[in-house]
């Protein structure tokens, strides 16, 4: 599968139309979306064999897939704003609720974050916690996703004052969950919050040249 390639939204990494120069931001980011999250990138579109692989990893208890899936995100660090990596980077998985963690047996984001932290020489923390269970985001529009996760995360560790932190998850859809995580991390003092994922939801290939909305 070809990876996601430019032109991409400078802020959230969403693919932009190839025609003309236009704006360097997608419509959602131009309208102030994902305000707490400073930067996001995904390695591949969420489709085809990769979609199946993530599904088996996430729901099929195929935990060993974390090794090769986690490695797909390492090149994304080269796309990041380099000045944000002057201080040591702390890698954080997007947390699951306790009930969902028990159901799956592990947090797929934590497995991916552990691989990425090892490969990049970064520290790993699991002090970002989910304060309440939320219904699944699947099938919800952007506004509903934002309402669903509002206030659902908190930092349960030492001060993050002036630190750069990198969230890790499997798939980026609207970014509502990651943005709410970033809100909690900024409240704990984080200076910069980025996000990397294996994949992101995109429009069907034939539609990408017609829209740059998120």
Mean local confidence (pLDDT), 195-200? 98
Structure tokens at 59: 């729901």
Domain residues of the chain, as ranges? 35-203
Rounded percentage of the chain residues whose pLDDT exceeds 90: 70
> Quick one: three-class SS letters along 126-169?
CCEEECCCCCCCCCCCHHHHHHHHCCCEEECCCCCCCCEEEEEE
Lowest mean per-residue pLDDT among 64-73, 87-96, 101-110, 133-142: 133-142
The rounded mean pLDDT for the chain is 87
Tell me what pLDDT residue 86 has: 52
| pLDDT 10s digits, 137-148 | 666 556 665 666
User: Is 9 within 8 Å of 26 (Cβ atoms)?
Assistant: yes
Secondary structure of residue 106 in the 3-state scheme: coil
- For the domain spanning 35-203, the CATH number is 3.40.50
Report the alpha-carbon distance of residue 44 to residue 4 in Å, rounded.
Answer: 5
Q: Virtual CA dihedral for 59, 60, 62, 65, nearest 10 degrees?
A: -50
Neighbours of 37 (CB within 10 A): 25
Q: Which of 135, 146, 133, 141 is nearest to 179 (CA)?
A: 146
Is pTM beyond 0.85 here? yes
Q: Which of 201, 14, 3, 197 is nearest to 109 (CA)?
A: 197
Tell me what pLDDT residue 40 has: 97
């Amino acid at each position: 599968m070809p990876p996601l390639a430019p032109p991409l939204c400078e802020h959230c990494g969403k693919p932009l139309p190839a025609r003309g120069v236009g704006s360097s931001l997608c419509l959602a980011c131009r309208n102030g979306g994902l305000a707490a999250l400073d930067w996001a990138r995904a390695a591949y579109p969420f489709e085809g064999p990769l979609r199946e692989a993530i599904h088996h990893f996430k729901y099929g208890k195929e935990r060993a897939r974390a090794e090769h899936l986690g490695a797909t995100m390492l090149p994304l660090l080269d796309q990041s704003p380099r000045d944000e990596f002057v201080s040591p980077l702390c890698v954080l998985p997007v947390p699951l609720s306790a009930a969902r963690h028990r159901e799956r047996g592990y947090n797929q984001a934590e497995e991916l974050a552990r691989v990425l932290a090892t490969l990049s020489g970064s520290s790993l923390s699991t002090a970002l916690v989910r304060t309440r269970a939320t219904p699944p985001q699947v099938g919800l529009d952007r506004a509903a996703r934002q309402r669903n996760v509002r206030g659902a995360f908190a930092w349960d560790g030492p001060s993050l004052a002036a630190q750069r932190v990198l969230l890790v998850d499997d798939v980026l859809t609207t970014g509502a969950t990651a943005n709410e995580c970033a809100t909690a991390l900024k409240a704990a003092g984080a200076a910069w919050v980025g996000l990397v994922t294996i994949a992101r939801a995109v429009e069907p290939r034939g539609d990408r040249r017609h829209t740059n909305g998120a």
